[in-house]
A and B are shown apart, each in its own frame.
Chain A
Amino acid sequence: MINNAQEFYNALPILIIGTGILISLLIEIYAEKRKIFQPWISIIIFIAAGSYALLSIEQKSTLFMNMLATGGNVNVFYFIFTFGAAVVTLLSINYLKKYGANYGEFYILVQLSVLGMMLMAGAKDLIVIFLGLELMSVSFYALAGINRKRLKSNEASLKYFLLGAFTTGFTVYGIALIYGTVGSTSIDLIAEKFIELSNNFLFITGLLLFFIGFSFKIAAFPFHMWVPDVYQGSSTTVAGLFSTGGKAAAFSAILITLGALFTAGGAHTFTPYLAVLAVLSMLYGSIVAIAQSDIKRMLAYSSIAHAGYLIIGLAAGNYQGIAGIIFYLAAYTFMNLGAFGIVSLIEGEEEANLDIKSYAGLAAKYPMLAALLSICMFALAGLPPLAGFFGKYYIFIAAIKADLTWLAIVGVFSSAISVYFYLRIVVLMYFKESEKDFVVAHNSTGLLAVIISVLLVIVFGVAPGTIINLISSFL
């Protein structure tokens, strides 16, 4: 319930997306030329919500009877979700036409999933987190199968749905145990009672189950099985959304709960568990990615490795770690979307040109695409002065400050391994002869989306201090 004008303004990013979904639904049923302007309406809605979130970043408040927080880093997450989704929408316009899957529902589902992500990022209550998680996940299950005439797309959707529903069970069970021991689902109350209950077996089990549910969504190691198949099977642009928006939203939910425990003095309760998860995800992702011949599967394993780097920030258990994670998520969202965007541009009909070998000699034919993909690969590998380097830098610094130097060393070691498979693409593009002859269809909107993400990656890399100071000032 909104009581005054200021609260209304603070809730505006969520309200814009919510209203946007209804408008898009009406356009879908009534407008004659909906296929042309449906995506643009949805992009305008995303940019309006994201820009407003950035403008009102100083307005910290809680809304709806202490259910939802706004302002500060919540709005940073709103920016990541909305602009990431805007880039995905821009990429999808011509991509969906190429596959004959240009359904208006696609754009509505992307908006719905963003609404779910925003609820997760702003939640002050476990029930709101669960609501957002389900809204996001159910839209994702449908998005994975949006290309419904393709068998692999259907397989990806079903696989994602079955495993996703199963792990949602873990989350709900965890919430139930937490509620049973604390007597409330409010995150503030849970943090208050944390010290008192930190020896309570059921309470700790509940928290761990809760994190296991989210480990699935962020694709950390023992819960990663779905990632390569789902990314490979679903449309490339949608896979980009899963690996960036979905991951960022799940991390935002983890940060809300863990961050509340930090203030209660429970920062290092889960460090051993998280450190193991981080090491396994990083090494597994980096090593298995080397063996991949399909670029989408390679990016999927790289996404598992990146989940590992991000978990280091959680294991560090200090505010530098949290700030580092938020910065890394912002950087990772745009460099990964850039990479998936280029893949979606080069991908031909019927999944052609997804093999890594198709990238051989690309620089001679399409210097622009090759240069953009190289920047994304350098950023993903974590080479300075791009955004990926500073993301890793802040997270490793946080780990060293928390006396987890060995974890930072494993992280550096793992990024050294990952340089191999990222730069292999660059080497193929610039130093090898082309093996296959194919034409990349002209796609101006897709190219624009990739250029926007690459520009953001460069901006984050040039001025990381300003951004990290902004994020830290809200913690």
Chain B
Amino acid sequence: MIESYIPIFLVIGFAIVFAFGVLLSSTAFGPQRPTSEKSSTYESGMKPVGTTRERVSIKYYMVAMLFIIFDIEVIFVYPWAVQFKKLFSEVGISVFYSMLVFLVVLELGYLYVYKKGGFRWD
């Protein structure tokens, strides 16, 4: 029983050794020139310590919302594409048209956002 897990243990062990080895080797052999910016937790992100009521520009929310639209599109299209051949042989061409209608509706929303200037950063 336990013998069959030996390859997995080997992989886990190798992963641990490799990860720590690479990290340690970069500290051991790499040049060290720390600045306050570099040694902060998120080098190009937000400050890790400070007020939680930071004001964030509304543009980020716009991007986040628009991103969700396309995220959902992919979530629907991907399984559809994977199962397309099977569904096509069962139901016929209407499988294709239903996704086409979905995409047309979605792209009209995209067009609306584009024309209203939703993608303009400034």
Contact = CB atoms under 8 A, between A and B. Distances in A.
A1 B94 contact: yes
B94 A22 contact: no
B69 to A, nearest CB: 14
Contact of A29 (B91, B94, B98, B112): B112
Contacts of B105: 22
Interface string B104-118: 010011011001100
Contacts of B109: 25
Given A1-B91, A29-B115, A29-B116, A22 B98 contact: no
Contacts of A1: 91, 94-95, 98
Q: Is the interface of B mostly helix, strand, loop or mixed?
A: helix
Interface in A9-44: 22, 25-26, 28-30
A135 to B, nearest CB: 13
Interface string A161-203: 0000000000000000000000000000000000000000000
Interface string B75-110: 000000000000000010011001000000100110
A440 interface: no
A381 to B, nearest CB: 45
Given A25-B109, A26-B108, A29-B111, A2 B94 contact: yes
A1 B94 CA distance: 7
A439 B112 CA distance: 40
A17 B76 CA distance: 23
Nearest to B105: A22
Contacts of B98: 1
Given A22-B105, A25-B112, 4 more contacts: A1-B94, A25-B109, A26-B111, A29-B116
Contacts of A29: 111-112, 115-116
B95 to A, nearest CB: 8
Give the interface SS of chain A, mostly helix, strand, loop or mixed: helix
Contacts of B115: 29-30
B108 A25 contact: yes
A356 B115 CA distance: 44
6 contacts: A1-B95, A1-B98, A22-B108, A29-B111, A29-B115, A29-B116
Contacts of A2: 94
Interface in A249-305: none
Interface of B: 91, 94-95, 98, 105, 108-109, 111-112, 115-116
A25 B112 CA distance: 7
Nearest to B111: A29
Nearest to A18: B105
A1 B95 CA distance: 8
Contacts of B95: 1
Nearest to B94: A1
Contact of A28 (B91, B94, B112): B112
B42 to A, nearest CB: 30
A261 B40 CA distance: 61
A184 B112 CA distance: 37
A30 B112 CA distance: 9
A26 B116 CA distance: 11
Contacts of B112: 25, 28-29
A224 B63 CA distance: 35
A3 B111 CA distance: 30
Contacts of B94: 1-3
Contacts of B111: 25-26, 29
Nearest to A64: B98
A30 B91 CA distance: 37
Nearest to B116: A29
B84 to A, nearest CB: 15
The 3 closest A-B pairs by CB, nearest first: A29-B115, A1-B94, A25-B112
A2 B116 CA distance: 34
A22 B95 CA distance: 22
A350 to B, nearest CB: 27
A2 B91 CA distance: 11
Residue among A3, A28, A29 with max Cβ neighbours from chain B (10 Å): A29
B44 to A, nearest CB: 33
A2 B101 CA distance: 12
A22 B110 CA distance: 12
Contacts of A26: 108, 111
Nearest to A26: B108
Contacts of B116: 29
A1 B116 CA distance: 33
A181 B86 CA distance: 31
Nearest to B98: A1
B83 to A, nearest CB: 15
A2 B111 CA distance: 27
Nearest to A30: B115
A466 B111 CA distance: 47
